[in-house]
Structure 1
Amino acid sequence: MSVPELITSPQNPRIKNLLKLQQKSAERRRQGLTIIEGQRELTIAHGAGVACPAVFVCSELAGPAREAELRALFAPEPATEWLAVSRAVFEKVAYREGSDGVLALARPPQHTLESLVLPKNPLLLVLEAVEKPGNLGAILRTADAARADAVIICDPRTDLFNPNAIRSSIGCSFTVPTVATTRSELLAWCAARGIRTYAAALSDHAQPYTRFDFRGPTAFVMGTEADGLTPELMSACDHTIIIPMGGHIDSLNVSTATAVLTFEAVRQRG
């Protein structure tokens, strides 16, 4: 890679476009791009085969070792443009404190229910109307750690590749197939494939999750932090399960609850 000219103005068109992509989900959808910040996240995304049209590096923040590693990582890919930016400009576009001086444009993969390639007994995590990128990112980390086969979002209220979701997932947004769909499409798809759906909800007829066998085709269906699952989706699931609470609170954070259920399925599957 040749040494690029240093970008020192926040009015540079490339920098202004970064800010638009960072702030506007409509712009991310229109351009088919998102932003990955951080060497670790970028390395994981690159390892998952994500195309990165441009990498922005602040040498002052990144340091020579990190910059050399990234240059080696992207050296075989002439389609990736390398852009150097000043510290003042990078700090304007960075969306987290203590950034390591690395940021990239990425083309996120586009999955559909029909394009998913699943084993005979898939383990799926379903989120209804997820709206907090941090929760989505944390659940993607769980999905990656547990080797779940996909994360499916019904009627999402945030785009799946929101930069903050990518940050919270530490790049696992790209290691687990993630699909946006509707409630009706999900239910029909699961039924056609014999996938049992388990609604996690505070309900009088919910049974403790430890009573169930998750070794077959399984989808855990989780609701929002504030409202839980809609009655329509909860009633349409095959079973309603609950994590018994022994203290004063009646529920866990949705990402924590998802982790508990997911790793119970992993334990049962050996």
Structure 2
Amino acid sequence: MKDIKHISSLQNPLVKQTILLKEKSRERKKTGLFVLEGKKELEIATRAGYSMDTILVCKDFIDEEAFHRFSIIPNNSFVSVSSVVYKKLAHRDTTEGVIAIAQAKNHDLSAINIENKNPLILVAEAPEKPGNIGALLRTADAANLDAVFIANPKTDLYNPNIIRSSVGCVFSGNIILSDTSSIIAFLKERDINIFCAALTASKRYTTVAYTKPTAIIVGTEHSGLSEEWLSSSSQNIIIPMEGKIDSMNVSVSAAILIFEAKRQRHIS
């Protein structure tokens, strides 16, 4: 086992850096680092090829087996911290005793890798709430989508609330961050059908075929999709509402549309 440094002071520079990375998007963007917390999340990120800069563990909250398993992950600093330090760093109310500082990946459009010749893609335009973004990524993982594009992102992908609400799916997914115009151009160049969830000029979502290369586009509950998406749409689609409101949570809408596409592909 590698030598283990122990930190018990809240004034330690590494502790201060970890707090900055957790709380400040600007610091994450400047350094290319972010903070993740929890055994499951660390294991998913490691399997997905993320490099760990530092792993911090608290023996008061982690079992010996996990302590040993994380201590042998290569190419990082492995640090033991006191319970006082750990509680200061932990984002969750219930904790698992491990926090890591990891190196962010490239999510530019140039990094996209879609091997499937008949892809199913989710595009979310300008999502802002971390909980919604995390839920969208969980849905994408459950459906084994080929990619998720976030157009005109309003929130840092490595926001701790996105990591937590995605239950680590932010690490395992094929996620691209770009602007609406570039994503539309990418989809059209590859003859991928664009189905926009919209209230106007729409067909009931169950009457549309998603068996060919497909991108399902969802907007925010407040403002929907931009005109740029609507004017580029192959077909607008709608989920009929039978209550008193005309919209539902974006992650719920996306799940309904995605799994209808999956259903059609399974029976075609």
User: Shorter-normalised TM-score: what interval?
Assistant: over 0.9
The counterpart of 1:126, out of the listed 108, 123, 131, is: 123
Does 1:214 find its partner at 2:214?
Answer: no
Q: Distance in 2 between matches of 1:52 and 1:130?
A: 28
The counterpart of 1:175, out of the listed 168, 172, 176, is: 172
Q: Is the 2:5–2:78 contact (alpha carbons within 8 Å) kept by the matching residues of 1?
A: no
Does 1:87 find its partner at 2:106?
Answer: no
The CA deviation at 1:267 is: 1.2
**TM-score, with length taken from structure 1:** 0.93
The CA deviation at 1:167 is: 1.2
The CA deviation at 1:180 is: 1.0
Equivalent residue, structure 2, for 1:243: 239
Does 1:197 find its partner at 2:194?
Answer: yes
Does 1:149 find its partner at 2:153?
Answer: no
Map of 1:100-119 to 2, 5 A cutoff?
Answer: 100-118=96-114, 119=116
The CA deviation at 1:199 is: 0.9
Does 1:24 find its partner at 2:11?
Answer: no
Does 1:96 find its partner at 2:92?
Answer: yes
Equivalent residue, structure 2, for 1:36: 36
Q: Is the 1:222–1:229 contact (alpha carbons within 8 Å) kept by the matching residues of 2?
A: yes
Q: Distance in 2 between matches of 1:38 and 1:182?
A: 32
Q: Is the 1:198–1:238 contact (alpha carbons within 8 Å) kept by the matching residues of 2?
A: yes
Report sequence identity in percent: 43
Deviations 1:31-51 (A, max 9, x none): 111111110111111111111
The CA deviation at 1:126 is: 0.5
Q: Which moved more, 1:112-121 or 1:134-143?
A: 112-121
Q: Is the 1:113–1:179 contact (alpha carbons within 8 Å) kept by the matching residues of 2?
A: yes
Q: Distance in 1 between matches of 2:5 and 2:228?
A: 56
Q: Is the 1:18–1:93 contact (alpha carbons within 8 Å) kept by the matching residues of 2?
A: yes
Q: Is the 1:160–1:178 contact (alpha carbons within 8 Å) kept by the matching residues of 2?
A: no
Equivalent residue, structure 2, for 1:226: 222
SS in 1 for 2:110: coil
Q: Is the 2:2–2:71 contact (alpha carbons within 8 Å) kept by the matching residues of 1?
A: no
**TM-score, with length taken from structure 2:** 0.94
The CA deviation at 1:3 is: 4.7
The CA deviation at 1:22 is: 0.8
Q: Which moved more, 1:176-185 or 1:227-236?
A: 227-236
SS in 2 for 1:269: helix
Structure 2, unaligned runs of 5 or more:
none
